[in-house]
Chains A and B, each alone.
Chain A
Amino acid sequence: MSRLHHASSDPVPTSASITLAPARNNLLRRYMFSTDHKVIGRQYFFLSLAAVLAGAWLSLLMRVHLVWPKAAIPFLGEIKPENYLAYLTMHGTLMVFFVLSTAPQSGFGTFFLPLQLGASRMAFARLTAAGFWVALVSFLVLMAAFFVPGGPAGAGWTQYPPLSALASAGPGQGMGTDLWLVSIGLFCVSSLFSAISFIATTIKYRAPGMTWMRMPLTCWAWFVTAILILLAFSILLVALAMLILDRHAGTNFFLPGGLLVSGKPVEHSGGSALLWQHLFWFFGHPEVYIAILPAMGVTSHLLSVFARKPVFGYKAMVGATLAIGALGFMVWGHHMFVSGMNPYAGFAFSTLTTAIAVPSAIKTFNWVATLYGGRIRYATPLLFSAGFVSLFITGGLTGPILAQPALDTYLHDTYFVVAHFHLIMAMAGLFAIFSSTYFWFPKMFGRMMNERLGRLHFWITLFGAYATFMPMHLLGIAGHPRRYSDLTGVQYVAAMAPLQKFITVAAIVTISGQIIFLVNLFWSMKKGPAAEANPWDCTTLEWTLPSPAPAQGFGGQQPQVNHGPYEYNVPGAEKDFVMQGRLQPAKADRNAI
């Protein structure tokens, strides 16, 4: 056991405690309560997997209910409007927090940030571990809402008060909403733990020679994302505390006077319903960059690896990442053009939103330029990365439409917005999670995934994503509001049922296609061909280690970095790439803080 902690200042278990500990205890420490970032990274990965399965199942229920409202679901029966709202709230919450914010950053980031920087551990190993365990509790608290009276919260993942502040406002607004608030509060705490560790690791734990400008773009993305998490999630945590106080301690942050809910006067006064929206979106907009920056980072990385070319415009990419991070905090008001916010603020937010589209476009240009003239290897990770670029272009180009307050006035809260963020955040993010999985699987699990199944999975998911979400633009343009549990309440909405049916069928096919991924994942863990140390011919430091990455990380060795992260196709080199660094015997314990 003490071997694991070679480079650590953590109290190391003494030999006495090891001899006394039964074998089962060791196993628990190694696989459950481990402080090894590689174990924690895998734990986050499986947490996300559980969440994405639940979230996808809920989306299936919603899609089926929309077009076959009378269909009885096994064990659930007929879906009522409040069930539908609970599903959409839980779908959004699971996908945004436990999938898109968790897998790319906490999952792959926790596993690979130290290794790519040339460190054998995260800066605060136990804080990192605590982050996971709090996230797991948060997940369980969230899911517990399915088993309480009234069911889960039904006010959407944005939880606008007064709907979210008053138990009398609907079936899920009682205990279900309390559980939601506590769960997401815990998730904030977990994210803050993890972010502190990411930031300290990046600043302090880089191997000798790993200068800032030699960091892989993945590390840049994880680092900037961690800063965003630190700033954004602390705001959300405060807002959640305020909402809990409004619900249970008689405070008046978000509740104005004079409310009459379900025929009963509400004894609150003086609060502002818009205050929540400002606080929520001050978190909520950076949150979409928290979800997508690591995805952008891994896409830049993989396009270079599989095009066998350096990233085009590395410095511009770093600059764009920083610009997106900074501007991400100044655009929250574009979620509120029709909220009753002062219309003059609309000018500022539309202009700032337009500004943030520029670094995003710069990234896209650089991705395309990275591919240009490359000797491309068409492996599954490349396919998903190319898919990411396509989805990013498609989803991104509706941004400059929605950024215009006058157009957003019409499109806000319609399926047009649903299409926009599912393409650019959900689908693009998912494609990056898939490309990361296929790419890093050998280093995480020591085996290769099946290429043929991987390709099949890609084709189904690419066409499925487009078939599901492109038609939603048309629904939005025709004025179909989102979050409708039934199409029959409004006549012009009812007229759109045929297209809704098409979307449901596309969603069923796409989600079913993910079974191929699951089979490939679990089959390959057990039976996949053993992976070499560097199966993709990469330059970065994690590939200097055997596969799977051993528990001791770089062990008694110290990486010495002499090259940039993307030296592919170097004339005169032995192979078509040059490793970033080589391992040398470690001198001192430089990682100790």
Chain B
Amino acid sequence: MSAALRLAILVVVLGCLYLFLAQPYWFPAGVSSQSALIDHQFKIAFLVLGAMFVAGHLVLAYVLAKKPHSGGQASTGNWRLEAAWTIAITAIFFWLNISGDRLWSSTMESAKQTGQIEIEVTGAQFQWYFRYPGADGVFGRVDAQKFAKADEGNPLGIDPADQAGRDDIVSTSMVVPVGHLVELHLRAQDVVHSLFIPAMRFKQDTVPGMEIHSHFTPTQTGVYEIACAELCGSGHYRMRAEVRVVSKQEFEKWLKAHEPVAPRE
């Protein structure tokens, strides 16, 4: 039984190693300025903790071996040993923690940049809306309860009386220029949603009653999927959108093409 148990532990370890080394599924290629940092941090944590996983199981298999009785009183503990492994594990875990906190601070810190793109993101059951402020750079006032009419082209409920809202562009996909900081204003119309862009290593809940600010900088053109990551109802699984990262010129062209033809009434 001892041998079988130890063999089972080894099989488990080898199986897990295969899974994580073969990596049949893994991170999508990162295409934002923070993705390389996050991937690096994950890799370090993964290697350190993976080594502890293997070592821990090898030690477990070792102590589960059948031993002839050694005689004498068995140890009831050893404070020096307790102190040693406590200090060692504390050092490892807090080293990971501190490096993780430094990364958190660098990804969350928002420094305004010239040429940054402002987009308001609104989650609604089960659709994402992306609003651009238009030429005036100001988002128009929104009152979903009063003005929102999805079938009349005003799903967010932009106040027709507000001048600032007349040139706002509302889209169901996000279009951004490559290399520019994208500043997001995240809102939700009904329940909590979560804007998840795996390729950008970006996720942020959108919470009704709050406007949350977050940002990322795309580094590569292409089309990337957006998923909803917070359970929002029966259509949660299909609350999908795309972010299209294009050149600055194409972005300007897209904005121009999507300017509201007639001011909202």
B25→A162 contact, CB < 8 A: no
**When each residue 196-211 of chain B gets 1 if its CB lies under 8 Å from chain A and 0 otherwise, what string results?**
1010011111111110
Interface stretch of the complex, out of A116-124, A406-414, A427-435, A514-522: A406-414
Which residue in A375, A394, A474, A485 is a CB contact (below 8 Å) of B236? A485
Q: How far is the CA of A406 from the CA of B24 in the complex (A)?
A: 24
B64→A376 contact, CB < 8 A: yes
Given A374-B67, A484-B237: A358 in contact with B93 (beta carbons within 8 A): yes
B5→A401 contact, CB < 8 A: no
A273→B209 contact, CB < 8 A: yes
A409→B203 contact, CB < 8 A: yes
A562 at the interface (CB under 8 A from B): no
A477→B225 contact, CB < 8 A: no
Residues in B whose Cβ lies below 8 Å from that of A397: 49-50, 52-53, 56
**When each residue 251-280 of chain A gets 1 if its CB lies under 8 Å from chain B and 0 otherwise, what string results?**
000011111111101100001111000000
A310 at the interface (CB under 8 A from B): yes
A262→B125 contact, CB < 8 A: yes
Q: How far is the CA of A89 from the CA of B69 in the complex (A)?
A: 51
B104→A350 contact, CB < 8 A: yes
- The residue on B at minimum CB distance from A86 is B234
B191→A163 contact, CB < 8 A: yes
B64→A354 contact, CB < 8 A: no
A309 at the interface (CB under 8 A from B): yes
Interface stretch of the complex, out of A38-46, A335-343, A436-444: A335-343
Given A412-B229, A568-B74: A259 in contact with B82 (beta carbons within 8 A): no
- The residue on A at minimum CB distance from B156 is A260
Q: How far is the CA of A258 from the CA of B53 in the complex (A)?
A: 49
Residues in A whose Cβ lies below 8 Å from that of B49: 397-398, 400-401
A534 at the interface (CB under 8 A from B): no
A523 at the interface (CB under 8 A from B): no
Determine how close the nearest CB of chain A comes to the CB of B14; give it in whole angstroms: 11
A163→B66 contact, CB < 8 A: no
- The residue on A at minimum CB distance from B87 is A358
Interface residues of B in 124-161 (CB under 8 A from A): 124-125, 143-145, 148, 150, 157
A260→B67 contact, CB < 8 A: no
A350→B97 contact, CB < 8 A: yes
Interface size on B, residues (CB 8 A): 105
Residues in B whose Cβ lies below 8 Å from that of A492: 28, 198, 225, 227
Given A273-B209, A339-B207, A484-B237: A368 in contact with B59 (beta carbons within 8 A): yes
Which residue in B42, B53, B94, B148 is a CB contact (below 8 Å) of A407? B42
Given A393-B53, A404-B96: A81 in contact with B235 (beta carbons within 8 A): yes
Given A371-B63, A413-B194: A393 in contact with B56 (beta carbons within 8 A): yes
Q: How far is the CA of A210 from the CA of B107 in the complex (A)?
A: 54
Determine how close the nearest CB of chain A comes to the CB of B174; give it in whole angstroms: 15
Interface residues of B in 141-190 (CB under 8 A from A): 143-145, 148, 150, 157, 186, 189-190
A405→B104 contact, CB < 8 A: yes
A479→B198 contact, CB < 8 A: yes
B231→A155 contact, CB < 8 A: yes
Residues in B whose Cβ lies below 8 Å from that of A413: 194, 196, 203, 229-230
Residues in A whose Cβ lies below 8 Å from that of B60: 368, 371, 386, 389-390, 393
Which of B19, B23, B25, B78: most chain A CB closer than 10 A? Answer: B25
Given A273-B209, A405-B100, A479-B196: A373 in contact with B26 (beta carbons within 8 A): no
Given A258-B143, A258-B144: A343 in contact with B108 (beta carbons within 8 A): yes
B85→A338 contact, CB < 8 A: no
Which residue in B57, B75, B76, B96 is a CB contact (below 8 Å) of A393? B57
Residues in A whose Cβ lies below 8 Å from that of B73: 569-571
- The residue on A at minimum CB distance from B199 is A479
B117 at the interface (CB under 8 A from A): no
A401→B45 contact, CB < 8 A: yes
Residues in A whose Cβ lies below 8 Å from that of B15: 466-467, 470
Determine how close the nearest CB of chain B comes to the CB of A269; give it in whole angstroms: 9
- The residue on B at minimum CB distance from A336 is B205
Given A374-B67, A466-B15: A499 in contact with B194 (beta carbons within 8 A): no
Residues in B whose Cβ lies below 8 Å from that of A376: 2, 64, 66-67
Determine how close the nearest CB of chain B comes to the CB of A540; give it in whole angstroms: 16
Q: How far is the CA of A61 from the CA of B191 in the complex (A)?
A: 27
Q: How far is the CA of A491 from the CA of B82 in the complex (A)?
A: 50
Determine how close the nearest CB of chain B comes to the CB of A366; give it in whole angstroms: 8
A346→B104 contact, CB < 8 A: yes
A354→B97 contact, CB < 8 A: yes
B262 at the interface (CB under 8 A from A): no
Determine how close the nearest CB of chain A comes to the CB of B102; give it in whole angstroms: 9
Interface residues of A in 332-371 (CB under 8 A from B): 338-340, 343, 346-347, 350-351, 354, 357-358, 361-362, 364-366, 368-369, 371
Residues in B whose Cβ lies below 8 Å from that of A311: 76
- The residue on A at minimum CB distance from B22 is A474
**When each residue 79-122 of chain A gets 1 if its CB lies under 8 Å from chain B and 0 otherwise, what string results?**
01110010000000000000000000000000000000000000
Which residue in B8, B96, B225, B229 is a CB contact (below 8 Å) of A491? B225
A378 at the interface (CB under 8 A from B): yes
Interface residues of A in 469-499 (CB under 8 A from B): 470-471, 473-475, 477-479, 481, 483-493, 496, 499
Top 4 nearest A-B pairs (CB, nearest first) are A256-B209, A404-B100, A489-B238, A479-B198
The 16 sampled A-B contact pairs (Cβ below 8 Å) are A160-B191, A162-B190, A265-B144, A310-B75, A313-B76, A351-B101, A400-B96, A401-B42, A407-B41, A407-B100, A462-B8, A470-B19, A473-B20, A478-B28, A485-B237, A492-B227
User: Known pairs A346-B108, A404-B45, A490-B240. 7 more at Cβ < 8 A?
Assistant: A160-B230, A310-B75, A312-B76, A358-B93, A397-B52, A404-B101, A470-B15
